[in-house]
Each structure stands twice: as structure tokens, then as C-alpha cells.
Structure 1
Amino acid sequence: MVIRRHGQEEGNQFPSKTYVEAVLEPAYNHAKQELLLPMIAVHKAHLVMLYEQSLLSKKDSANIAKALLNIDLEQFREGNYNGQFEDLFFEVEDKLLKLSDESSSNLHLARSRNDMGIAIYRITLRQKLLLTLHSALELHASLLDFAGKHTDTIFIAHTHTQQAQPTTIAHYIAAVSDSLARDIRRLQAAYANCNLSSLGAAALTTSGYDINRERVAELLGFDGLIENSYDAVSGADYVAEIASGTQLAAINLGRFVQELLLWCTQEFAVIKVAAPYVQISSIMPQKRNPVSIEHIRSLLSSVAGSSQTVLTMIHNTPFGDIVDTEDDLQPYAWKSLDTLEVIYRLLSKVIDSLEVNKDVLKKRAGASFATVTELADTLVREEEIPFRHAHKIVSRLVSQAVEQGKGVGELDLQSLNEIAIHTIGVPLKLSEEKFKLALEPEHFVNIRKLRGGPSPSEIKRALEAQHGRLHSLEEWLSERETHVATASAQLDDSLTNFIR
């Protein structure tokens, strides 16, 4: 049986070689790897619904069910495009016709390639989203565990790439994990808008047959319908939302990864990456290159690029059923999610293996002028002078010390007092003890107990809250995975009932 292909002229049995190379063969190869199982699932669900609505006989339904359960999917996966059929859909349809003794000729009642294709894409994307979210939550847990080990590990934070103020590794990592949690919630929202059924929309106006759209959605594990049939086959925002969330997740994580690479340098000496995640040099014996993190950085850029391709391909397209949002576009969305998922898993393992150089960080914090904000705050509290006056006094003290080649440990109360007299006209009442305390990094961190601050007690509270949110996200993911798996099992059970 030869099936005429869309756009094929009479007398032309095979498409042109260039059309095959540019469009048909790549689409076929992507489909056989990614779309085959969702395609069969859609066939199964549509069959069950047609039988339940008395649109197919018991005999035909049983023949089609046997064909669907016995079809050799590996044959398609291992096959090559040969031009006999336009694409995988028609090849599968032809195979089902043969296996069912033509009973499946009515399997296409009340549906179109349009609504079926969108449903298949949505099933494929939802599965990739669930896998990506699973790995994202794994990374989230690794970050929280890492932060929990370093609530007292003080280091100097930077603003504008310059030393700013003392904080803790836990405070920094908690910020990263909060950012990751927002990325997860955005992908969670994208999942909700993706996991809706287009089936029953047919070409774009539904059908005159009395079908049950809700039943098909239920059988396939969708959470609901895309109600408007035109929207069902025309809307592309479901994949655009996934691309946007994926792109932002890659950009956000990339900023953290870039800092990890800086922290690996001997100059920063903050962390050491475990041996399984580094490579040596072919010529320089001393090298421990953190290439796993470098690869993560470059792959995150590829995720952002693939996601942008999705958005660009949708831009300025008509609002209708068009190829721009289908075979040519979907692989970029798949690739972005697949890459992001493996990055999350790899980075989680890297984080689990990191060693932090606490001694270097402590010495660096103790030798830095980064604590002098607290000295200015202390003058405001103890001397009851305006902050701008206190800022000016401390700023002059630091400038004077730098000019004289002195470090923070060489700052003295006498010099501070002399500058104060010159600035505000009166001597300070500040004691030597409070002066020294104001310059200690541990004191700087410990008194910043405000919500969101770096003090160990506040960070522990924040991490507990993050663990609670992580648990809720894990429960949501488990529910979604169970829902989809249960629907798949029940669908096969329904099909098996036809042939008993």
C-alpha cells in the first residue's frame, strides 16, 4: 500500500533528495527517538474512547488493541527514512492497518494530525520536564546539605568584583538555592500549562462525532483540556514558556558556576574539586583543571541558546497550525531540557565532593577592611552621631592606613579619635574593647540576625524553611510522576480488556 504524502504531486512517488535531507529525514529520526511511545499512547487512548462511545465495534476494537500491543517499536527505532511514507505517523498507521486486518482504518475518526501532534509534543515535553525537575531537586538538596555544613565558615563577599563585607559560605549558597527554587517553580508552572490535552480539537473545529475529550485526557494522564479547539492546535506558548523557564534557569545557574570557577583558582583558593571531576595537563604536571565545571558553564550557554532558538522560531509566526512550531522547533526544546537535566545531576555530584579551604578564608577575612562597615555602625550606636559623619571618619581612617601601608590589624583607636576630632570637633568615648570587637569578622556576621542575614542562627532558620519548601516540591513531583505512571498502566489495562 502506498500512501500519498502531503504536498506530493501525482506521479511523483518519492520526495526530492534535498527535501529529504533538509526536512523529512531529520524529522523522522527525531520522531522515532522521541515521539514513538507518545504516539502509540495516543492511539491507545483514542481507541478506548471510541469504543466506550460506541464509535467502534467490539471486534474492530479488539483487532486494533492487539495490533497496538504487538507492534514492534524497535523496528521503527532501528529503521531509516526511505521515502515510502512522508513521516513516522504514516508509517506507523500503515503498520497498524496490516496488523489489524484493516480494522484500524477507523482509528482516525474524530481526530487530525493537528490535535494528535500537539498532544504527542506535550506528552514528550512533560516527561522531559519531570526528569529535569527531578534532577533540579537533587541539586537543590545538595546545595542545602553543603550550606548546612558551612553556617560558620566566614568569607569575604564581593560587590562589583571587590571585597565588600564578611558573610558565610552558607549565606551565599542559600542565596543560590533560593534562586534555583524559583527556577524550579517556573518549570513547575510550565508543566501545568504543558500538561493539557489538545485531543478532540481535530483539525481545528472539533468533530461532529460524539467523542469524549475529557476521557482521552484522563487516559493519557493530562490534567485537563485546552478547551478552545483553535487554541489547542494553534497555541505555542506552552513550549515558549518551557523555553523561557529553561533559558532563565541556565542563565541563573551559569552565574553561580562562573563563581565556582573563580573559587577554584589558586588566587582565590576557596574550594577544591574532587579528583573524579578534574583533569590533568598533558604538559604541566602541577595542573588540576576543574573541567567538569567548565563544561557545565559551556553547556549552560548551549541550553540558553537552544531555548532562544525556540523563542525566535515562534516569533512573528501566524496564529494557526504551522510547521514552525512543530517538527523543526521541538528538538531544540528537547535538547535544552535534556542538557539542563544532566547538568543538574553533574553539578549536584560536584557540590557533594567540594572541599572548602576554611583556614584561608578565615585569615583572609581577618586581614580585610571588609568589616569597617560595622565600625561605622558602632560609632553611630555608641557616639550617637549621624551615619554620614561616622562613614566619613572610618573612611578617612582606612584611607590613611592604606597610604601608610598598614593592614586592618594595625588600625588603632588613637588614630580614629584624632580623625573624629578633626571631623566632628569632639573626641570619641568608644572603648578599646568595642573598637576591636567592631573589626572582628565573626562579630560582624553574628550580629546580623535580621531575616535573610548571615548570622548562623538566622541561616539555620532559613535553611530549615528551604528544606520545607524542597519537601513540598518533592511531594508535588512524586504526585505528578505517580499520576502519569498510573494513567499509563490503566491505559494498558483498558486495552488488554478488549482482547479477553
Structure 2
Amino acid sequence: MAIRRHQQTEGTKFPGKTYVEAVLEPAYDQAKQELLLPMIEVHKAHLVMLLEQGLLTQDEANSIAKALIRIDLEQLSQGNYNGQFEDLFFEVEHKLLELSNDASGSLHLGRSRNDMGIAIYRITLRRKLLGTIGSALRLHASLLAFAKKHTGTIIIAHTHTQQAQPTTLAHYIAAVTDSLARDIRRLQAAYANCNLSSMGAAALTTSGFTISRERVAELLAFDGLIENAYDAVSGADYVAEIAAGVQLAAINLGRFTQELLLWCTQEFAVARVAAPYVQISSIMPQKRNPVSVEHIRSLLSSIAGSSQTVLTMLHNTPFGDIVDTEDDMQPYAWKSLDTLEVVYRLLSKVIDSLQINEDVLRQRAAASFATVTELADTLVREEGLSFRNAHKIVSRLVTQAVQQGDQINDLSLQSLNEAAIHTLGLPLRLSEKQLKLALDPEHFVNVRKVRGGPSPGEMKRALKAQQYRLNSLEQWLGEREAHLASASTKLNSILFDWQIK
């Protein structure tokens, strides 16, 4: 919530111009866009609880309910900071007093700006979390559909930025999707710790009135309470956990985005971004720049930066209610979530329309020495050699071929036997057919049937498991969104029923 140490009343001085410019006005603008609706929801839930606990009369509750229903939220959301009130909270409180003939003065019974502010922040963050998770799931679905189309598309995988072994595009993308799913689960965990109610903690010691913390939590669709009242208004790890999860998600996705940009270069010539997501050059007619992916990369870096700002601002602050964790810090968490949400959506669209040059990939795999691990494995199986000796033979074979300018198709049984004689002192029994099969990239992929490998059968199992995981995550999201919507509907229904009785 906004800075709460100063409320404009008759006789007080207008806040300093620099204070307004640096703190009060930005906080007001942010609050009217992000915190106004959650603030009203908290008012409504607290009002219902006060009546049910017998702390207000029905007439008092009706007057306050009418004011809450009649308050012009559109006007408030379009307003400008004018210094009459320190912040949006006091402006809303003033309008409610006017609309209720001062009856709403009892609405603050048994609560504080402290517990209320934390509840409003948590409501705001949980909504943004669900939105971000929803877009992450859309990207998950796009990647999964893409992988299913490319289970037979053989690529050369790289380690240390050098050609390593053949695999499939589906195998690579499934790895990206697994990483994304872990990011989603971290955001789920952050949601669980965020969606707890601070209401009823009041300033930090609860209240002497017989309020029901549990009822307010239920009305606001929180999953439970922050048990300790001091912790409720002092703990800020709920937002730090979100920031950490978002930061890691941005870093993880940035690594894939960087590779996607490399694939789009003419030198790699692997991927082609669809026309709606590229831009031309003002001077070079041939240019087809995949700038949407570039923007994704830079935005992911900005997300990591905004998240780090949250963690840095929290560092070395006192463990108590303090403004450092409020107006100045919260917007960085909002921005990181909002930006990650739209980046997930944008990348999903790019993946949906991405074109892959399968012919180039196939030719490169066939011309690469990346398959020779399987040749070493074949020598172990067929010749009974230790893998280290098999490795020495194949390493010598490839080294000599490269020195002579030979390609993988130039490797012969004779040159293999020469390497074996040099290493072991005797030739091999391997046939020409076995040699060619061992060097075939498709064979390389097909024999790697171990769990987590790229063989067609294993990829079919893995992608089926990913689809099941996606369905489960989508169900979780749907249940949470439905729960929040249902609670809001019920809360407003209670107040409406009061008006017609």
C-alpha cells in the first residue's frame, strides 16, 4: 500500500513538491491501476465479517455496503494525485465516509493499514501469477505440438558449442519444455505461499475485538492464514520467492531464445521465423530480421533485472512493517510478472509458426563426424573391446581423416583396421555393412532407447508424459481461477442480498 505516515487533514501542510514527484504521485498512479479493486474486495470481506461477528449492526453494515457498491471506481482509476489526500487509501476512505454518512468510519474496526496492505499486495500478485502461469502453459502446449511434429527430424546436438552427437529436434525441444515445466512448478509453489491471508493481524498483534481471521480469508479466496501476526505484516519472502522464480524462468528461457536466434542465421540456416514476427532493413533489401525473438531475449533480461531489484531492495531491511517492501518495491515484481506473461505469449506464437529446414539438418547430420560415438560403442559390442580402447581406435581414425581432408563418408574398413593395428596390434572383424550402419545418424538415434533418449519409441513415451503433465497443470490453473472467481461472486452476492432485504 501507499506510504502511510502522513494523511492530509485540515491544517496540515501540503507535502513537499519533490516528495510528491519522487514518491507520492508515482505510488498513487500505481495504486489506482493495480490496487484499487483488491482494496475494495478487502473492504467488502472485512465488512461481512464484522457484521457476522456482531461488531456492526445490520443498519451500519447496509450503509457501508451501499457506499462500497456506489463508489465510482472508474473515476478513481482516472484520477490524478492532487495532494488533498496522501494516497489512494485515504481518498477511498474519504469517499466511503461521504457515501455512507460517516457510517464507514467503523469499517476500520479490528484491522490496520499493515495487514490490509499486505493482503492487497498478495491478491494483486496472485492474480498476476496465475496470468503468467497461464501464458507459460500456452507456450508449453506450443512447444509440445512442435516436438510432436519433429520426432523424426535429426539434428546435431552441441556441447561446448561444438558438434557432439545426433539427436532429434523433438528431443531438444522436449528438454526445453521440461525446463519450462520446472519454472511453472516454482511459480505454483510461489502462488501457494503468496495466497495466504494477513487480515486480522492488524498492526502486528491482532485485535482485542472478536474478529474472525478465517472468515475473511475464506471470503477473499485465500487458501489459509499467515499464522503469526507479526510474520503476517513483516515477512516479505512471499514476494521474494516470486521474484526468484520469475528471475530463474527468464534466465532459463533466455538460453533457448539465444539458440533460436542462432538457428535463424544464414550460417545455421535451420529456422525461419514467420513474416508477422520479422522486420526488414531500411537500407538492405535482403534483410529479414527476426527481431521479435531479439525483443524476447532483451525483455527476458529486463525481467531478470526487475526481479533482482526486488531481492536487492529487500536485502538488509528490518524484519518488520516497513515501506521498503511496499510502494517502491512491489511494482518491480508486477512488472517482471507482466513482462514474462507477454513474452510467453509472444514466443508461443513464434513457435507455432516457426519453419524448420529439415533438408539442411539431414544433410549436416549425414556429413558430420558426430556419429562416431556409436562406432566406438559398436566396437565394444562386436569386438569385445574396452570402451577406452575402442575410443582410442576411433579417435585415431577421425584425426587422420580430418588431417587428410576426408569426410565421414570417406571412412573405410581399411582405415579403421589401420587405426586398430596401430592401437591394438591386430585388425578388427567388423564388416563394411556394420561400419556404415554405425555411422548412420538415424541408427544412432534409433538405438538410444534408454529412458530420456531420442529414439522414436522413447520420445513417444516422453511426449505422452509431457501431455499428461500439461493437462494436469491446466487443471490446476482452471481450479484456482474458478476458486477466485467464485469467491468474488459470492462476496458481492452477500452485499447485494443485504440491499434487497
Q: How does 1:457-472 map to 2 (within 5 A)?
A: 457-472=457-472
- The reply on whether 1:223 has 2:223 as its aligned counterpart is yes
TM-score normalised by the chain length of structure 2: 0.98
- The reply on whether 1:400 has 2:378 as its aligned counterpart is no
Distance across 2 between alignment mates of 1:130 and 1:427: 64
Q: Which amino acid aligns with 1:232?
A: A
Q: Which amino acid aligns with 1:117?
A: G
- Matched with 2:201 is 201
C-alpha displacement at 1:5, in angstroms? 6.0
- Matched with 2:125 is 125
Which string of whole-angstrom CA distances, capped at 9 and with x for unpartnered residues, describes residues 392-438 of structure 1?
11111111011111100101010110110111011100011000000
Distance across 2 between alignment mates of 1:339 and 1:331: 12
C-alpha displacement at 1:12, in angstroms? 3.7
Which string of whole-angstrom CA distances, capped at 9 and with x for unpartnered residues, describes residues 322-344 of structure 1?
00101110000000000000000
- Matched with 1:304 is 304
- Matched with 1:71 is 71
Q: Which amino acid aligns with 2:230?
A: Y
Alpha-carbon RMSD: 1.1
Distance across 2 between alignment mates of 1:114 and 1:218: 19
Decide whether the 8 Å contact of 2:7 with 2:90 is kept in 1: no
Long gaps (5+) in structure 1: none
- Matched with 2:232 is 232
Q: Which amino acid aligns with 1:403?
A: Q
- Matched with 2:189 is 189
Distance across 2 between alignment mates of 1:469 and 1:211: 42
Q: Which amino acid aligns with 1:131?
A: G
| Runs of 4+ deviating beyond 4 Å | 7-11
Long gaps (5+) in structure 2: none
Distance across 1 between alignment mates of 2:419 and 2:78: 82
Distance across 1 between alignment mates of 2:210 and 2:287: 70
Which SS does the other structure have where 1:107 is aligned?
Answer: helix
- Matched with 1:474 is 474
Q: Give the total of aligned pairs.
A: 497
C-alpha displacement at 1:11, in angstroms? 4.8
Distance across 2 between alignment mates of 1:7 and 1:371: 73
Which SS does the other structure have where 1:227 is aligned?
Answer: coil
C-alpha displacement at 1:8, in angstroms? 7.3
- Matched with 2:363 is 363
Distance across 2 between alignment mates of 1:273 and 1:241: 35
C-alpha displacement at 1:9, in angstroms? 10
Which string of whole-angstrom CA distances, capped at 9 and with x for unpartnered residues, describes residues 379-398 of structure 1?
11111111111111111111
Distance across 1 between alignment mates of 2:10 and 2:305: 41
Decide whether the 8 Å contact of 2:8 with 2:83 is kept in 1: no
Which string of whole-angstrom CA distances, capped at 9 and with x for unpartnered residues, describes residues 260-286 of structure 1?
000000100111100000001111111
Q: Which amino acid aligns with 1:115?
A: D
Q: Which amino acid aligns with 1:164?
A: A
- Matched with 1:315 is 315
Decide whether the 8 Å contact of 2:155 with 2:365 is kept in 1: yes
Distance across 2 between alignment mates of 1:297 and 1:74: 36
Distance across 2 between alignment mates of 1:283 and 1:171: 39
- The reply on whether 1:256 has 2:256 as its aligned counterpart is yes
Which SS does the other structure have where 2:108 is aligned?
Answer: coil
Which string of whole-angstrom CA distances, capped at 9 and with x for unpartnered residues, describes residues 216-235 of structure 1?
00000100000100000000
Decide whether the 8 Å contact of 1:5 with 1:85 is kept in 2: no
Q: Which amino acid aligns with 1:417?
A: N
- Matched with 1:90 is 90
C-alpha displacement at 1:465, in angstroms? 0.3
C-alpha displacement at 1:497, in angstroms? 1.7
Which SS does the other structure have where 1:158 is aligned?
Answer: strand
Which string of whole-angstrom CA distances, capped at 9 and with x for unpartnered residues, describes residues 347-387 of structure 1?
00000000110000000000000000000110111111111
Distance across 2 between alignment mates of 1:218 and 1:495: 15
Q: How does 1:23-422 map to 2 (within 5 A)?
A: 23-422=23-422
Which SS does the other structure have where 1:372 is aligned?
Answer: helix
C-alpha displacement at 1:54, in angstroms? 0.8
Decide whether the 8 Å contact of 1:123 with 1:195 is kept in 2: yes
Distance across 2 between alignment mates of 1:350 and 1:63: 53
C-alpha displacement at 1:10, in angstroms? 9.2
Distance across 1 between alignment mates of 2:394 and 2:8: 81
C-alpha displacement at 1:13, in angstroms? 2.4
Q: Which amino acid aligns with 1:253?
A: L
Q: Which amino acid aligns with 1:262?
A: L
User: CA 1:9–1:211 in structure 2 vs 1: closer, same or farther (change >3 Å)?
Assistant: closer
Which string of whole-angstrom CA distances, capped at 9 and with x for unpartnered residues, describes residues 179-210 of structure 1?
00000000000000000000000000000000
